[in-house]
Each structure stands twice: as structure tokens, then as C-alpha cells.
Amino acid sequence: MESYALLLAATLNAGTVLALASLGLLINEKVGIVNLGAEGMMLCAAIAGFATVVTTGSDTLGFMAGMAAGAGLAAIFGVLVIWLNTNQYATGLALTLFGTGFSAFVGTSFVQARIPERASFAIPGLADIPLVGPALFRHHPLVYVTVLLALALVWFMYRTRSGLIMRSVGESPESAHALGYPVRRIRLAAVVAGGALCGLAGAYISIIYTPLWVEGMVAGKGWIALALTTFATWRPARVLLGAYLFGGVTMLQFHLQGIGVDVPSQFLSMLPYLATILVLAIISRNPQWIRINMPASIGKPFYPGG
């Protein structure tokens, strides 16, 4: 039983990374922008966050550095795709290729660095409940913030006027433009906000999840986060659930190894990627359903009067 509690705890931890990044990408896609640069932004944010914690000793500054790195890169991407009308897929790929190289380049001097052991987190009282405590109440505060964030996003997108405007930009930028909304600025704001969240996810990886720096340590989580928005049919609450599900699959490999399942570790390491493929295939099976839920202008450039 104890080990299942720990598995659940690890699942929430891994799911938080995916949820943060995927919520960020959801914000992007809701205004019609697909950012394939997620992996690159997360890597740059991971090294930015880690380097900041190593030099200043402050986790908060580390998270802020990660968010700044993500937001900064997203802003460059945004200007390119929104004002210069570059192809979103190609530009996102360029961002990932650049980010992968740049993070490895900047990170060389931090490969050996370690950050000090931090006090474990616990919610007083609740953390001491047997089984439930270790599973649910001994996490980094960001794990709980992520849940609140998803709920806040639901409220923002479906209960506020700004959220309605944001969604309208994604559904029909032409109509939003005709109504006088600054479509391109709204898109840029969403792209930057999404980048900041991807950055936060990246920083969480290198500061809390596996507190060290290794080249390419995001290991495809940015891509899985991209798949999650489709999986969730662009709904924030479903993104959160999907993220925990995939976090669970990621952790399952360690659990299976732990209980001595006789399968080569490499096959267990394939699980998250295979699961992503499988889920994508199942979810996309009905193109009608995807089309109804998908923001209509996704991937398409918008040029006022052009």
C-alpha cells in the first residue's frame, strides 16, 4: 500500500510538469497559435532556473528566471508568426532546435553543479494522515498552484468577457478584428503567457523534479504536453486530468521496475511515448469531434487587411 501512495505522489509530481506546460500551450492554441517550440522553451527555462538557483540560492528567483526565459523566447516566436506571418510549425521547430542547442551550450558549466538539499514540504496536519498524507499533502506548493491555475483558467475562459474575446480571436480572428479587438496584440499576449507557463514547467523540472542539469533533460515532455491539448479537446480541466494520467504512465515504469517486472528498462522507458501515440490515435479517430472542439483558426496566420 505504502508504495502505491508513493506512486500517486510521484504521479502528481510528474503530472504537474506536463500540466503547467500543456495549460500554457492551451492558452496559445485557444487564440489560434500552435507553438512547436515548447520543448526548446522548457529546456532554456530549465537551465535558466537551475543556474539562478545555483548562483542565488533562491527557488523563487529560479522560477521567475525560468518564466522569463520561456516568455522571452515565446515573444520572439510570437513576433515572427504574428507580425511577420512566418509558418507556425517551422518557426516553432526552429525555436526547439535553437533552444536545445542553446541550453546545452549555456549549461555546460552547470553540469556538475548541485543545489542544496531543501526542506521537505508538508501541509501541517494533513501531511500526517497515513497513506493519504504522503500521497497528496507533501508536495511542492507549485503542485497545488497548478490545480488552482487550471481552475482559474476555466473560470477566465468561460466566465469572463476577456476570456470570451480570447476565444473569439481563436475561432475567427476576422470577426474579432471587425469588432475592433486588437487581434495581433491579444495573440501575442497569449503566446507570451503560454511561454511563461512552459518556462515555469521547465524550471520545475530542473529545480524540484530532478534537481540537476543534464543536456536535453526535458526528454520530450514539451511534445507530450502538445499532444495533451488535443487529448483534452482544448479544455483546461481535461488538460489537468490528462497530465496526471501521463504523469502516471511516466512513473509506472519506475514502479514496474521496483516491483521487479522482468522487462528490459528500455521498453518501460518507451511507455510515455507509446502511450502518447496510442492516445492520439484513439482521440483523433473521429475527425468530426476534433473539428468541433478545435479552435477554428488554429495554425492559420491572420493579417489585418492583408
Binding residues (CB under 8 A) for another protein: these are 36, 40, 76, 80, 83-87, 89-91, 93-95, 97-102, 104-105, 108, 182-185, 215, 219-220, 223-224, 226-227, 230, 264, 266-267, 269-270, 273-274, 276-277, 280-282, 284-285, 287, 290, 303-306
Which CB atom, from 148 or from 281, has the smaller least distance to another protein? 281
> Shortest distance, CB of residue 284 to another protein, whole angstroms?
4
Rank residues 20 and 47 by Cβ distance to another protein and give the closer one: 47
Q: What minimum distance in Å lies between the beta carbon of 261 and another protein?
A: 15
Min CB(153)–another protein separation in Å:
22
Q: Which is nearer to another protein, 274 or 296 (CB)?
A: 274
**DSSP string covering the chain, please?**
-HHHHHHHHHHHHHHHHHHHHHHHHHHHHHTT---TTHHHHHHHHHHHHHHHHHHH--HHHHHHHHHHHHHHHHHHHHIIIIIS---HHHHHHHHHHHHHHHHHHHHGGGSS------PPP--TTGGGSTTHHHHHSSS-HHHHHHHHHHHHHHHHHHHSHHHHHHHHHHH-HHHHHHTT--HHHHHHHHHHHHHHHHHHHHHHIIIIIS-S--TTTTTTHHHHHHHHHHHTTT-HHHHHHHHHHHHHHHHHHHHHHHTT--S-HHHHHHHHHHHHHHHHHHHHT-HHHHHHHS-TTTT----TT-
Looking at the Cβ atoms of 106 and 127, the one nearer to another protein is: 106
Query: 501521463: which residue's cell?
Result: 246
Least distance CB 265 / another protein (angstroms):
8
Closer to another protein by Cβ: residue 139 or 184: 184
Distance in Å, CB of 109 to another protein, minimum:
9
Nearer to another protein, 122 or 165 (CB): 165
State in angstroms the smallest separation of the CB of 155 from another protein.
27
